[in-house]
Amino acid sequence: MRFDRLWINARIATMAAGAPPLCPGALGARNGRIAWLGPMAALPTHEATETIDCGGRWMLPGLVDCHTHLVFGGDRSREFELRLEGASYEAIARAGGGILATVRATRAADEAALVASALPRLDRLLAEGVTTIEIKSGYGLDRDTEARMLRAARRLGAMRAVAVVTSFLGAHALPPEARDDRAGHVARLCDEILPALAAEGLVDAVDGFCEGIAFTPEEIAQLFAAARRLGLPVKLHADQLSDLGGAALAARFGALSADHLEYTAESGVEAMAQAGTVAVLLPGAFYVLRETQLPPVAAFRRHGVGMALATDCNPGSSPLTSLLLAMNMGATLFRLTVAECLAGVTREAARALGRLAEIGTLEPGKACDLTLWDIEAPAELVYRIGFNPLHSRVFRGQPC
């Protein structure tokens, strides 16, 4: 067998469902893809341009952050202070702060400024082993600024060794100029803005915020119908602050994922199971908002709904740029097991992006995106707080 690069003497957690670790294992890559992996003892006769001895380090798939609002203008630390003084997230939003404060700052920023401010956040995530990141629009709310955000997201992907998957979140909040014309605004989102951005190749999926302070289930259904006409997959910020039936709505449209889900009822969980919709849990937002309502983890388990974990990196409810910490929070706050947390930032996160055939587990034929860690057991990645044991990251077969 011919490999461009071969990693030997690794302890490999492939994260393929039910697969035992390979200890010691080897993995060979060719043309950016995994050509072979297995126990060292089974390594076939081969030629490799480069061989890397992992010295017993643990190897996992590259991590996938499947829900971020990484690109935005401005800063919201003042709102953090207001919340400490007792103001609620919803009250700040209703008073024109919150998402709309970031919308004003984002509209005032050009593409270069958006890229420059997002880059250090991206670099923090990459330093922890992220190789695929989802980035949403949603702080422009008009055609030009939404396009600028998505172009900035694509540019970030060209600047670093990482795959960027974009989501159009034009239905994140009602912009002030549309206050007296909700219906007209939703129609413009569906019939003008989304099709234009999709035609420019900027949209990999369509997202919305279904909530009392955002859009109704009926409005989201209109948006999802527009996405369907364009052949784009959908996902939804659902049941974060109240139960509007968002999870069931997402499932009805065959959504890749429904995200947040603190207030999701059992019927919503059942609908997700039927549709194969992944539950994306966002403990950073739960922590920042001091939520007390836990997502229905036991029901997800009972119904076999896959659970992913993500940072939800955003300037308001989750100023978090650590997927390792998101895992720790998933375990401590949501009582996920270590295995669920690890799957939540690899296999299930890849499934939530509709990319499981390509990434998320280490299997022959998939992209060679992987991470090497200075740890004694994978549980350390979940257990330790504020500690980053990443040794190195490999993207499409290239160490970086």
Closest approach, Cβ 259 to Fe ion, in A, equals 6
Among 314, 321, 322, 361, binds ligand DI6 (CB under 6 A): 314
Q: Which is nearer to ligand DI6, 10 or 70 (CB)?
A: 70
**Binding of Fe ion by 134 (CB under 5 A):** no
**Binding of ligand DI6 by 244 (CB under 6 A):** no
CA distance 46 to 61: 23
What angle, 0 to 180 degrees and rounded to 10, lies between the N-to-C axes of helices 111-126 and 143-159?
40
**Binding of Fe ion by 348 (CB under 5 A):** no
Closest approach, Cβ 343 to Fe ion, in A, equals 21
Q: Which amino acid is at 199?
A: A
**Binding of Fe ion by 312 (CB under 5 A):** yes
Residue 106 binding target from Fe ion, ligand DI6, none, CB below 5 to 8 Å by type: none
Q: Which is nearer to ligand DI6, 25 or 98 (CB)?
A: 98
Among 264, 317, 346, 361, binds ligand DI6 (CB under 6 A): 317
Closest approach, Cβ 213 to ligand DI6, in A, equals 9
**Binding of ligand DI6 by 285 (CB under 6 A):** yes
Nearest residue to Fe ion on Cβ basis: 312
**Binding of ligand DI6 by 209 (CB under 6 A):** yes
Closest approach, Cβ 115 to ligand DI6, in A, equals 19
Give the CA radius of gyration of the chain. Answer: 21
**Binding of ligand DI6 by 73 (CB under 6 A):** no
**Binding of ligand DI6 by 67 (CB under 6 A):** no
**Binding of ligand DI6 by 316 (CB under 6 A):** yes
**Binding of ligand DI6 by 257 (CB under 6 A):** no
Select from 45, 41, 48, 47 the least CA-distant residue to 26.
41
Q: Which is nearer to ligand DI6, 146 or 369 (CB)?
A: 146
Q: Which is nearer to ligand DI6, 121 or 237 (CB)?
A: 237
Stretch in the footprint of ligand DI6 (CB under 6 A) among 15-23, 156-164, 314-322, 356-364: 314-322
Among 240, 321, 322, 371, binds ligand DI6 (CB under 6 A): 240
Among 28, 73, 98, 245, binds ligand DI6 (CB under 6 A): 98
Token duo for residue 288: 């920042």
Residue 283 binding target from Fe ion, ligand DI6, none, CB below 5 to 8 Å by type: none
Location of structure tokens 């993207």: 395
**Binding of ligand DI6 by 215 (CB under 6 A):** no
Closest approach, Cβ 261 to Fe ion, in A, equals 12
Residue 293, class by beta-carbon neighbours within 10 Å (0-12 exposed, 13-18 middle, 19+ buried)? Answer: middle
**Binding of Fe ion by 239 (CB under 5 A):** no
Give the contact letters, 168-207, x = binds to ligand DI6 (CB under 6 A), - = no.
Answer: ----x-----------------------------------
Residue 321 binding target from Fe ion, ligand DI6, none, CB below 5 to 8 Å by type: none
Residue 316 binding target from Fe ion, ligand DI6, none, CB below 5 to 8 Å by type: ligand DI6
Integer angstrom CA distances of residue 142 from 103, 139, 145: 10, 9, 6
Half-sphere exposure of 283 (CA within 13 A, CB side): 23
Among 28, 61, 315, 344, binds ligand DI6 (CB under 6 A): 315
Residues that bind ligand DI6 (CB under 6 A): 98-99, 102, 172, 209, 237, 240, 285, 312, 314-317
**Interface residues with Fe ion (CB under 5 A)?**
312
